[in-house]
Chains A and B, each alone.
Chain A
Amino acid sequence: MTPHVTYTTGGKYVFSFNGTIGGLYDVSVSVNNVFVLNTTIGVKVYFGGQCSTFTSSINQGQTWTLTCNAWNEYGQSVAVGGASIETMTPSGAAPVVPFNIYLNN
């Protein structure tokens, strides 16, 4: 993407960037084709994770496999560690399944 650069006053030039797509970006400014000024910017999206859900009732002692994914703040997929089903209530209409996802930050 090439933004329009505008001269203002006092040796200052300005330009803008619309962060419509998440991710990491290199920013380079070429001056007189003699030298380049560089920086970076990250466009953050929403970080978090999600696991697959139970599709039917579960019996005591039965093992289920849940598939979990996690994303960092730039929307990039990151590794999931330490995920486990810790407890499960033996009865009830809406069992609570504590579930922790640890992001590799």
Chain B
Amino acid sequence: MQYYAYASYNGTGFNLYFSVIAGPISVANSGFTDDNTGQKTAIAGTAAFISAQARDQYNNPQTTLANFSIWITGGPSPDQFIEFPVPSLSHPLLGESVFNYTIDLIGEYTVTLYFGSQNVTSSALTVHTGQAAYSASSLSGPHYIMINDVADYLVKLVDAFGNPSEGADAVSAQFTGTNRIQSTRY
């Protein structure tokens, strides 16, 4: 932040401008910001964003996140564990950096902010199924029944990456009769 000081000598005033920059990084005061929720939730196949900021011991923001990195680990199951660094999109002045990633498989992950090799903070990340995709979804049921029988149908919905629907999709069914006969027993 920029300041100025005022002084006078024999009735003549002087202004002195100076800047105060953030001190050494405080790992304890650095971490994720609340600007983006990508460190907590994401939709499979959709870009998500994480924001982080480094600060000094007085919470003054650092201008960069130099030496900081973000890693995501986890997956839909233990045998599908993945781990990858999240690339940074931007390092604007006053230090809030935005990181971008896309995960295709639903599951529980962990987002970790490192300063060098030091773990700064972590966040649980849940990746949810995206919108159901026509190409991978299916409808199954009997092609005929006898009168007064009940036909049971199954709709299986998955998104474009094969993740099963979590029940948030709006599904409605309709039967439209043709050549309907009330009774034909003779």
- A29 in contact with B177 given A16-B150, A37-B137, A45-B184 (CB within 8 Å): no
Is A22 touching B169 in the complex (CB atoms < 8 A)? no
Among A4-12, A53-61, A89-97, the stretch in contact with B: A4-12
Shortest C-beta distance, A28 to chain B (Å), equals 5
Is A23 touching B149 in the complex (CB atoms < 8 A)? no
Is B149 touching A19 in the complex (CB atoms < 8 A)? yes
Contacts of B16 in A (CB 8 A): none
Chain A contact-residue range equals: 35 or more
A28–B137 Cα distance when bound, in Å, is: 13
From 111 to 152 in chain B, residues with beta carbon under 8 angstroms from any chain A beta carbon are 129, 131-132, 134, 137-152
- A43 in contact with B165 given A26-B175, A31-B170, A76-B179 (CB within 8 Å): no
- Interface contacts (Cβ under 8 Å), in number, total 182
* B7 in contact (CB, < 8 A): no
Among B42-50, B79-87, B92-100, B156-164, the stretch in contact with A: B156-164
What does the 1/0 interface line of A16-41 toward B look like (CB < 8 Å)?
Answer: 11111111111111111111011111
Contacts of A23 in B (CB 8 A): 177-181
Is B176 touching A19 in the complex (CB atoms < 8 A)? no
* B182 in contact (CB, < 8 A): yes
Residues of chain A touching chain B, judged by Cβ–Cβ distance below 8 Å, are: 1-3, 5, 7, 10-35, 37-46, 48-50, 71, 74-76
